[in-house]
Amino acid sequence: MLELKFDKSKCADCKAVSCLVKCQYMDFDKDTAKVEWQKVIDGEDCRVLHDCVTCYSCEEYCPFGNHPFYLIVERQEEKGILPAPRPVITMWINQCQPVGRFMVGKVEEKALSYCFLPIFNELVKGKLFDGIWPSMIFGQEFFCNAVYLHYARMSVIKDRLPKIVENIAKQGIKELVCLHDECYGTFTSIALAYGIEVPFKPIHYYEYLHDRLKELKAEIKPLNVKAAYQRNCSARLIPETDHFVDDIFGLIGVERVKREYDGENGLCCAELIRMSKGPKLADDVQKRNVDDMVKFGAEYCVFNCPACYDSLVERVMRAGIKPIRMIDLCKVAIGEEQSQKPALEGMPVLKAAMEGK
């Protein structure tokens, strides 16, 4: 049985209670936070378990790396508290059950992980991926399973993740370039928190992109634009990778606007908030986030997570900001066309508005 590596003594010594005090969706002072967090530790029912919007942020806020969010997820599951509608949870569990369906390309020791997101097959074309594509894996058998953190189903992750790791290792992969923060976070945070050995080296694809851009430096034409970056939930598991956003922007001539809701203070896309807490809070979170981009002069909003893109694309465009995925931003900088243009081409009214018609 896999057990969470959680040290109660670290919480006892913590004076700041950052995991709760810094939360942007629950309002706690230090004294109340201390009491509430002790209830979580003791396995008692409490406001935290019911009001958590599963944004993962407390994982980043904890100064001890003590995995407060993973403990919250375990307690929610123990008590049958559902952070999302039951049919949604059931659908995700059943849809992603490993049943032997998967795809592999010409797998080498270094490979790309599409996880279970087919959109990446369209994105990973062009010079940026010369030398690695078509070395790739895709399918339920390689699905990282981090999404179940949103659904209070840590038991599913603990049940499936060891086999997923084994399936990847069996392909002979030594280095796995993870095209989503969730995959990289799974193999470098969740696996370690539960003592699961990962026999291959996970590489965050921002690190991969940064290295490729340096190799293609002579082809880069600085974009000279201002951009807001939308940090997704799973980036909270791996805050040490955030500097690659600045590193990439520096190479391609993009200014990351210094706004209120960025970095540690970033707001989530609110997709899960809409399902669990309703439209009022979700709309408020999205409005504050996009208004903040506008206030600080962002011309582009740069995404990694497909769910964040889908949740915010319309609101971003209505605000006059161009949505773009990080891969596509890099492609434009080296003179290649974007992989997809679904946002504009699929929304003629918004396209006309963006073009001033």
Question: What is the percent of the chain where pLDDT is above 90?
Answer: 87
Q: What is the model's pLDDT at position 349?
A: 39
Q: And the tokens for 352?
A: 């006309």
Does a structural domain hold residue 127? yes
| Domain CATH for 318 | 3.40.50.1860
Determine the average pLDDT of the residues in 254-283: 95
Return the SS3 of 87: helix
Task: Quote the domain boundaries for residue 203.
Answer: 87-208
pLDDT at 350 over 70: no
Regarding whether 236 and 136 lie in a shared domain, the answer is no
Q: Across the chain, what does the average pLDDT equal?
A: 93
Euclidean distance between CA atoms 131 and 110, whole angstroms: 10
Number of structural domains in the chain: 3
pLDDT at 90 over 90: yes
Nearest to 295 by CA among 264, 328, 320: 320
Regarding whether 201 and 99 lie in a shared domain, the answer is yes
Higher-confidence position of 1 and 297:
297
pLDDT digits (tens, 9 = 90+) for 138-196: 999 999 999 999 999 999 999 999 999 999 999 999 999 999 999 999 999 999 999 99
pLDDT at 341 over 80: no
Which residues in 300-328 are b (16+ Cβ under 10 Å) and which e? Answer: bbbbbbbbbbebbbebbbeeebbbbbbbb
Regarding whether 236 and 168 lie in a shared domain, the answer is no
314 phi and psi, to 5 degrees?
Answer: -65, -45
DSSP H helices, the chain, are 8-13, 18-21, 30-42, 47-51, 57-61, 68-79, 86-95, 119-123, 154-170, 181-185, 191-193, 205-215, 243-252, 271-276, 279-295, 306-318, 326-333, 342-345, 348-354
Does a structural domain hold residue 3? no
Does a structural domain hold residue 151? yes
Distances (CA, A) of 214 to 38, 140, 252, 268: 48, 34, 10, 30
| Inter-residue contact 160 to 145 (CB < 8 Å) | yes
Does a structural domain hold residue 2? no
Determine the average pLDDT of the residues in 124-140: 94
| Inter-residue contact 301 to 323 (CB < 8 Å) | yes
Q: Quick count: other Cβ atoms within 10 Å of Cβ 95? A: 10
